[in-house]
Amino acid sequence: MNDFSRQQAGSIPVGRADMAVDAGLRSFMLGVYNKMALGLVLSGALAYIAATVPAVNQLIFGTPLVFVVMFGPLALLFGSMFFMKNPSPTGANLLYWSVVSLIGLGLGATLMRYGARPEGMMDIAKAFFITSAAFGALSLWGYTTKKDLSGWGSFLIMGVFGMIIASLVNMGFAAFTGAAIAGFSFIISIVGVLIFSAITAWKTQQLKYMYYEVAGEARGMAVATTYGALDLYITFINLFQFILSLISSRD
């Protein structure tokens, strides 16, 4: 995304990376989690509005605006890599809340799809609570472990791209044959849960490293808090989507 998301463990001051208990670090992480939680609340509210308010629903899903909602978050994230090399706190916040808002509106489609099924809303509730519990446990482990998880990064990113390619292949097969490959979506969902579970722990540890890079510098801390919240928010949403897919496939 930017320099903040590319911190390496080797750059951490000697003797500081294993300090799991640190008042400044705790304050930083609390700021990240609070901002992420606010993002989830906003996403949930926007998803509900997009799914249940007819005028908003028609505007979002009945016009070309749907493509902005679908592809806007990716465009913003990739664009930020090139146009926000040295982001300001204001720019970072604008990116964060724009991505959160677009994803929230897009989740309205998920609410409509599952809301039309007898057990759909129950599946969403189950998936959310399972995701929250799993995310919390994995993030806590990533925060407290003394094991260096930096080496996981390249493999996890490759895994994400592999899933994207596999999903596109499955979609292409379905488009040409009229049916997706049997069981393929289920396998992708399992792999997705495993990959984003690992990403949760990895990203959390990277946030600790990020803190030690910018601690004491107000501007850097503000930007790091926002980008940290964005990283964890996106990880949570992806984990939730894959868990929801697994739960609904069992109904």
- The rounded distance, in Å, linking the Cα atoms of 189 and 3 is 31
What residue spans define the domains of the chain? Answer: 3-249
- pLDDT, residue 177, reads 60
Indicate if the alpha-carbon torsion angle 78, 164, 189, 154 is positive or negative: negative
Mean pLDDT for 185-194 is: 89
- Of all residues in the chain, the percent with pLDDT exceeding 90 is 60
| pLDDT at residue number 24 | 86
Torsion of CA 28, 142, 243, 189, to 10 degrees: 120
pLDDT tens-digit map of 58-111: 999 999 999 999 999 999 999 988 888 788 999 999 999 999 999 999 999 999
pLDDT tens track for 97-140: 999 999 999 999 999 988 777 788 899 999 999 999 999 999 99
On the question of pLDDT at 19 being above 70, the answer is no
Retrieve residue 152's tokens: 């996981």
Instruction: List Cβ neighbours of 1 (8 Å cut-off, separation of 6 or more).
Output: 77, 80, 81, 227, 230, 231
* Token pair belonging to 18: 């294993």
Q: Write the CB contacts of 69 (distance below 8 Å, at least 6 apart in sequence).
A: 60, 102, 105, 106
Q: Are 115 and 36 in contact (CB under 8 A)?
A: no
What whole-number distance in Å separates Cα of residue 225 and Cα of residue 36? 10
